[in-house]
Amino acid sequence: MGKVKEDRTPYQKKLRRFSWVIALIVGTIAAGIFAHGTLLGGTLGEMFMLAVAVAVAAIPEGLPVAATAILAVGMQRILAERGVVRHLASAETLGSTSVIATDKTLTLTEGRMEVTAIVPYAGHSEHDVLRVAAIANHAFMEKSNGKTHGSPTDIALMKAARNAGITREAARAGEEFVRTLPFDVRKRYLASVNRAETGELCAYVAGAPEALMEQALNVSAPAAHELHERLNELAGRGSRVIAVGTADAAEESRGITLSRFALVGLVALRDPVRPGAAEAIREAREAGVMTIMVTGDHARTARAVARETGIIESESAEVVTGEELDTLSDMELGRRLRDIRVYARVTPRHKLRIIEAWQAKNEVIAMTGDGVNDAPALKKADIGIAIGSGTDVAKETADLVLLGDRFSIIPAAIREGRIIIDNIRKVITYLVSGAFSEVVLVGMSLVLGLPIPVLAVQILWVNVVEDALPGIAFMFERGAVNVMRRHPEPKASPLLSRPMKRIIAIITIVSNAVLLLLFAALLRIGIYDIAHVRTFMFVALAVDSLMFVFACRDLEKNIWEYNPFGSLHLVVAVLLGFGLMAAAVYMPFLQTMLHTVPLDFFDWVVLAGFGVLNLALVEVVKALPRWQARFGKQ
């Protein structure tokens, strides 16, 4: 695990780059304002305070708070779907997921194994097969309540043996238990070692049929052919097939070694597919998310379950085993990657390679796992997903823990992840548009030789007080109807999408042009003193910001296509914003602090018209791409 690197999430990387770009732009503009203002006769102290205020305004410091709040709300919503996000940033990574690599057992199936067939071999009986299965079993029962603990396969084998009147204690009669050999991913079997009355060691083995049949001395070539046909028949029905047998054991310096294997029989177990698994896979597919199966089961078993759940749609679909994977170079695997939907008989090492192959394609991959050996793959994946009944190591390593062990939790978590990304983008658009407007307004006023339109303290009030509440209110947005009908964004997609750039540009350019015209007109008319004009400009910035928030609820649809007041939190935040703005203008102690004066009725009429005009311009910008597409086809 120590060799596996844990990278930043895609959005963390984008936000980091975005912050550097903003810092560079803001630093340059602030320095220019300070220098230009000083040359025009402004005092060093006044220009320094203005440059600092502009810099503070231009850097959307509310973004980290709002983004963190959005992530926290998203985590709570995922928890409501029975998923626990262990790392805050992982909640947004879920929204970028383009590939889900899932195990079969417990996520797609119920993990409720039942023995469906027993195939004795070489003169053995079903009783002999179940006796070996009972001894080579790592499940255990609590004497206090009779509850059985262990893997679904071990529990099913123990239950079948018990139903046949076989207990592990009775099966071991005359033998002393020595130790268990845990499942070895390379050898593909586990064993229980006993000492016979003669003092000799013997082992009872259970594992992959191919592994035991290959080593069993009592399996001839013709018999192996017949057993493989029977194995393929059972696996083709979606059954997991386990081989059981015996072996001689010997204690050596490096531990206990096994030899002289003898096959006793095969056991087929069936694990029903979870209700809703196929629907969840279809939902993921409609969202542009590919689901692949990565399992240690037999290829035919994996294929049958993959067909039943809709991962593959035909018998001719490609299934690659771990052995076949080892023969593929990285280039060959990369070329065939999108065509392979099922991997069978894989080890944790293979899982790690599959993850790296998808990441080399710049895809965001989620990987499920439940065992200690899955930890490196869970750590390497963009989203490591552990099932709730898995090992503590897997859950500690994972980014998402499925409390209900259901695959359907994953698409639900992806949906919430996409909503998180959408809401963060809404906040970015809202805050950056307002911040740039303030910077350009001050900068252009100085360039045109006009007085400073708003004071430093007024800029800070708009930025910190007026913009903060609506920005935070975006965390409660429930997401667009089509959030799971669009494809995930590539890793390389920019933080600012085209709609965001268009909206930010129109607010920055057109809105400031109108504001500058109003400012110049009010100064030229000469009816109002500079304090009144600055109060007007201060309120205009706030009105623009508070009206613009409704356009940000959906960056692609127009306001008449959705209910702009559909979010109660946003409406309350805007009303509070208007209330704070009125307080800043009419409350004496705030008037003193912010250098404002009361506005008259005519001022408010003009300000309301300005807010509506800006909102209309934003809606035109949002509609332009569709109008161009519509008229371009005619």
Give the catalytic positions in this structure: 103
3-class state of residue 41 by DSSP:
coil
66: Cβ contacts below 8 Å, ≥ 6 apart: 424, 427, 431, 471, 472, 474, 475
- To which residue do tokens 């060691």 refer? 201
The answer to whether 113 and 271 have CB atoms below 8 angstroms apart is yes
Cross-strand pairs, 245:
205, 263
Tokens read off for 26 = 């803001």
Q: Indicate the helix (H) or strand (E) that contains 609.
A: helix 601-633
Residue 181 neighbours by CB distance under 10 Å: 21
Q: Distance (Å, rounded) from C-alpha 137 to C-alpha 155?
A: 8
The answer to whether 454 and 541 have CB atoms below 8 angstroms apart is yes
Cross-strand pairs, 328:
none
Strand ranges across the sheet with 255-270? 114-120, 255-270, 240-252, 201-207, 189-195, 176-184
Helices and strands (H and E) in the chain: how many = 25, 16
Q: Determine the length of the chain.
A: 634
Backbone angles phi, psi at 256, to 5 degrees: -85, 130
Q: Distance (Å, rounded) from C-alpha 200 to C-alpha 74?
A: 60
CA angle 249, 253, 254 (to 5 degrees): 80
Q: Is 479 left (phi over 0), alpha (psi -120 to 50) or beta?
A: left
3-class state of residue 356 by DSSP:
helix
- To which residue do tokens 């799971």 refer? 484
For the packed helices 10-39 and 409-447, what is the interaxial angle rounded to 10 degrees? Answer: 10
167: Cβ contacts below 8 Å, ≥ 6 apart: 134, 161
- To which residue do tokens 């930025």 refer? 463
CA atoms within 13 A on the CB side of 107: 28
Tokens read off for 174 = 């005359």
DSSP letter for 295, please: -
The maximal CA–CA distance of the chain, rounded, in angstroms, is 114
Q: Compute the Cα dihedral for 83, 71, 279, 362 and give only its sign.
A: negative
Rg of the chain over all Cα atoms, to the nearest angstrom = 33
Q: Is 605 left (phi over 0), alpha (psi -120 to 50) or beta?
A: alpha
3-class state of residue 156 by DSSP:
helix
For the packed helices 601-633 and 512-525, what is the interaxial angle rounded to 10 degrees? Answer: 150
201: Cβ contacts below 8 Å, ≥ 6 apart: 178, 193, 194, 195, 248, 249, 250, 251, 256
User: Residue 333: what residue type?
Assistant: L
- To which residue do tokens 């009944």 refer? 389
User: Residue 156: what residue type?
Assistant: A
